[in-house]
Amino acid sequence: MGDETGINLEYWFRLIYECVTGGCYGTGNWAALLASWWQWITYIGYILAVLGLLFVVYATVKLFELRKREEEQLEELIISPEAGGANPRFLHIQSLMESKNPSDWRQAIIEADIMLDDILSRQSYTGDGVGEKLKQVEPSDFDTLQDAWEAHKVRNQIAHAGSTFDLSETLARRTVARYEAIFREFGAI
């Protein structure tokens, strides 16, 4: 049976087979050459795998060192006044509140909520956010619990509505004052 296109596939596959097995136009070293190349490719693969493993170990060690330094810096950011001065995070929140720009007030409330989340985490409350952590708090353990809920509600309105949320200066100051009361109770400022 003839092929209508004039290409004999069987002929070409036979040529490829003969070259791979060593009978390609009188040169019998193709198989040995391919085996040698494959051996070098295998060695290079092993070397790259070992180098990759060493890089992963190095990156993991550096990551743990970075986390430890980050933790130490966060420890310094939540300081009680007795421990040596004002809390720089809360000073930043207060500086944002001094602005006449409502977006700065929004940022101040969000920053204060993050600070509250850190304080709750240090008090061993767990959860995905401030709301879940506040649900675990016993009212007898937290004098300013109601302030925390009210302040967190404003933060949620800001987070969900963004710049469309009409935040008055009075509401912003009242909310930051609630956060301040919480921070004072826990000795963070």
Instruction: Give the pLDDT confidence of 44-57 residue by residue, as tens digits.
Output: 999 999 999 999 99
**How are the residues of the chain apportioned to helix, strand and coil, as percentages rounded to the nearest 5?**
75, 0, 25
* Cα–Cα dist 104/108, whole Å: 6
- At 18 the pLDDT is 73
**Residue 183 neighbours by CB under 8 Å, 6+ apart:** 87, 90, 115, 116, 119, 189
- At 83 the pLDDT is 47
* Cα–Cα dist 105/99, whole Å: 7
Same structural domain, 93 and 172: yes
* Cα–Cα dist 97/115, whole Å: 15
Query: Residue 121 is part of which domain span?
Result: 81-185
- At 27 the pLDDT is 52
- At 82 the pLDDT is 47
Instruction: Work out how many domains the chain is built from and give that number.
Output: 2
Same structural domain, 55 and 89: no
**Residues of the chain where predicted confidence (pLDDT) is lower than 50:** 79-84
- At 81 the pLDDT is 46
Same structural domain, 121 and 171: yes
Full-model pTM: 0.56
